[in-house]
């Protein structure tokens, strides 16, 4: 199964008590793991399995840990998770890293240098980490690559996203995140979804300049889906609108300080 379009997967919203496969190709699979808490500020955790490598994106907070482990256990032994991608230092993104390190002290943290400075304050500093600035492209066992793309001030100065060249999925962290009490796994109505993204972006993202600087880095990529840490996944058909949304966005400093000082 290789999902060129997530919408072609049909009943993808149907059984959320199980890991939801989003992409599968030879030696390379991606799952949505949750989190299933019934909250408007819903967190997403994703698992990428490539050969012997099992990489969690946005593993989540400590309260999320038990459910995330349970979801992984429905696929593979949680002790076999090899890497955590932590796209910035917020606790909802990666505070559970210390619990994952208890399970497997050998696992590696993949993050940016400015994030790495802060992660030890979650409670552990004795771990291996991969520096996304020094290693902007990571070759997986299958030969496919992950590309780490910095996204400064969206919202963290240390933020980065990850593009999986095999699936064309962009793990976007807080970018294109959305807040809504009427949640679905996939976006079905982009126009209606704008307000959900506004709820997160308007006062959290730094500026239109930061948004445009980031989208300029995406020009050469063929993005099949955007997988944010909050809210709903944007399928390929909405990617051009999603990029346009960011390029037009007035947010943060644009709103707080609209006049030149």
- The residues of the shown chain that bind Fe ion, judged by CB under 5 A, are 90, 92, 174, 229
Nearest-approach distance from CB 135 to Fe ion, in angstroms:
23
Measured from the CB atom, the residue of 99 and 174 that comes closer to Fe ion is: 174
Give the Cα separation of 151 and 67 in Å (integer).
29
Nearest-approach distance from CB 228 to Fe ion, in angstroms:
9
Look at the block and give the residue holding tokens 């696992």: 107
Nearest-approach distance from CB 161 to Fe ion, in angstroms:
13
Greatest pairwise CA separation for the chain in angstroms: 56
Measured from the CB atom, the residue of 50 and 90 that comes closer to Fe ion is: 90
Residue 79, H or E segment:
none
Nearest-approach distance from CB 200 to Fe ion, in angstroms:
8
Give the Cα separation of 117 and 44 in Å (integer).
24
The residue nearest Fe ion at its CB is: 90
Measured from the CB atom, the residue of 207 and 229 that comes closer to Fe ion is: 229
Measured from the CB atom, the residue of 64 and 193 that comes closer to Fe ion is: 64
Nearest-approach distance from CB 34 to Fe ion, in angstroms:
14
Measured from the CB atom, the residue of 90 and 235 that comes closer to Fe ion is: 90
CB atoms within 10 A of CB 201: 25
Long-range contacts of 7-14 (CB under 8 A, 24+ apart): 7/186, 7/235, 7/237, 12/185, 12/186, 13/184, 13/185, 13/186
């Amino acid at each position: 199964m290789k999902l060129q379009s997530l919408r072609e997967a049909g009943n993808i919203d149907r059984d959320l008590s199980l890991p939801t496969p989003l992409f599968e190709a030879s030696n390379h699979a991606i799952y949505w793991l949750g989190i299933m808490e019934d909250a408007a500020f819903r967190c997403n955790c994703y698992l990428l399995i490539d050969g012997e490598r099992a990489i969690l994106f946005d593993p989540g907070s400590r309260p999320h840990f038990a459910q995330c482990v349970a979801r992984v256990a429905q696929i593979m032994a949680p002790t076999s998770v090899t890497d955590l991608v932590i796209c910035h230092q917020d606790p909802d993104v990666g505070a559970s890293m210390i619990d994952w390190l208890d399970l497997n002290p050998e696992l590696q943290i993949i993050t940016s240098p400015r994030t790495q400075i802060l992660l030890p304050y979650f409670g552990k500093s004795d771990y291996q980490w991969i520096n996304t600035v020094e290693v902007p492209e990571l070759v997986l066992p299958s030969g496919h690559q992950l590309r780490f793309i910095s996204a400064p001030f969206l919202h963290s100065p240390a933020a980065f996203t990850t593009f999986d060249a095999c699936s064309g999925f962009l793990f976007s962290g807080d970018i294109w995140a959305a807040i809504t009490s009427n949640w679905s796994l996939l976006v079905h109505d982009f126009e209606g979804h704008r307000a959900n993204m506004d709820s997160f972006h308007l006062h959290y993202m730094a500026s239109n300049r930061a948004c445009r600087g980031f989208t300029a880095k995406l020009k050469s990529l063929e993005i099949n889906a955007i997988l944010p840490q909050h809210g709903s996944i944007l399928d390929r058909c909405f990617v051009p609108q999603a990029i346009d949304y960011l390029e037009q966005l007035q947010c943060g400093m644009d709103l707080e300080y609209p006049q030149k000082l």
